[in-house]
Amino acid sequence: MLSKSLQEALNGQIQKEFASSYLYLAMAAYCETQNLPGMASWLKAQAQEEWGHGMKIFEYINERGGTVSLQTLEQPPAEFGSPVDIFKGVLKHEQKITASINDLYALAGKENDYATQIMLQWFITEQIEEEKNAGDILSLLKMAGEHVIVLDHRLGKREAD
């Protein structure tokens, strides 16, 4: 059984994952208005992935006999600036999520909840990939400069997992 503090922290992480999904959908909508369908497609796929992350924790809480308590999602911004600004925001957001996952892992360790630590290890590995992907795209955008449309086309080829 999950401790009360760990259950609350995991419920908070569900909110963060769902909020990430909501943020990436807002970014995708903005990209659509900026005629960047490839970036919009990439961000929609990312939104689906984040929703899946939240559901993974949702299921874990239930498997451990805990209670899922969904929290409010705030309305995300509607304007995000240039493609470079968008992916700076994605990278910064992923770094924030990484810190949150690391805090959860530390809490599980403090409480000797090894099962939760094992489950969170998947998220730690996933966050390495998330930050790398965002950083790689940001680097490409900076190099592409005014040729961003070529990169937009490349990003449009991503398929949802």
- Quick: pLDDT tens for 31-90: 999 999 999 999 999 999 999 999 999 999 999 999 999 999 999 999 999 999 999 999
Q: Is 70 exceeded by the pLDDT of residue 160? A: no
Is 110 inside any structural domain?
yes
The pTM of the full predicted model, rounded to 2 decimals, is 0.91
Whether residue 160 is contained in a domain is answered as no
126 Cβ contact partners less than 8 Å away, ≥ 6 residues apart? 53
Instruction: Give domain status of residue 161, yes or no.
Output: no
Confidence label for 120 from pLDDT (cuts 50, 70 and 90): very high
In the structure, what pLDDT confidence band is assigned to residue 144 with cuts at 50, 70 and 90? confident
Domain extent for 10: 4-155
Whole-angstrom Cα distance, residue 158 to residue 145? 21
CATH code at 135? 1.20.1260.10
Total domains, the chain: 1
Q: Is the pLDDT of residue 159 over 90?
A: no
Over residues 81-108, mean pLDDT: 97
Compute the distance between CA of residue 83 and CA of residue 99 in angstroms, rounded to an integer.
24
Residue 57 maps to a domain: yes
- Residue 73 CA, chain-centre distance (Å), reads 14
Report residue 74: phi and psi, to 5°.
-80, 155
Which residues contact residue 38 at a Cβ distance below 8 angstroms, ignoring those fewer than 6 apart? 151, 152, 153, 154, 155, 156, 157
